[in-house]
Amino acid sequence: MPTKDLHEKPFTEETITKLEIFENYAKAWIPTFIMSKWCYEISIFDLFAGTGYDISGVEGSPIRILREISGQIGHIFTQKTRVSVYFNELDVEKFNLLQAACTHFINENEELKRCYDKKILKIIYSNKSFEEIFDDYYEKMKKNPSLVYLDQNGVKFLADKYFLKLVQSHTVDFLYFISSSYFSRFGNTEEFRKY
């Protein structure tokens, strides 16, 4: 199945809806674990991060994650909870734009920058394929309460190898978006069903 580049055009209404669903989930998820007495570190993984913004300047998932973290800075400092955010983008050009967008956003937000400078907030960037990065990060996902965001083109990463590991992890919450059009277009094909 061919993939399309979501960053060549402005985000569609459907993409913005997905981003808003994820953002609302993160908005509820982050304080739940920051405020718990037993949690000293949380992790957020965006493994298909993109550039940070679309070509019209609409915020993508990385910037929305950082904004939701910035909304919890007071609690983060009070509870002394460390926050590790993992952004992965395979495409080198998009990866460079992602790093620049996140750095700019952090530098523009005084409290977020203070949190970052004190190493309470860590941003870990990677430029690898999903197959490589999932194996690299899986143990980290299980270590602390983790929110994993998977929004990719196609379905090949729905494979049991990944999906079952996420389901069986007790401290991992994840959102996995897949276009419903794939079900209607390819639902009866062998290639689709195996994933």
Domain residues of the chain, as ranges? 16-194
- Give me the tens of pLDDT residue by residue for the chain, a chain 195 residues long: 334 454 568 999 988 998 999 999 999 999 999 998 888 999 999 999 999 999 999 999 999 999 999 999 999 999 999 999 999 999 999 999 999 999 999 999 999 999 999 999 999 999 999 888 988 899 899 889 999 998 765 455 555 667 777 777 778 887 766 665 555 655 566 655 554
Q: What pLDDT is attached to residue 119?
A: 95
Cα 94 to chain centroid distance, Å, stands at: 15
Residue 159: what pLDDT?
Answer: 58
CATH architecture for segment(s) 16-194: 3-Layer(aba) Sandwich (3.40)
Question: Residue 4 has what pLDDT?
Answer: 46
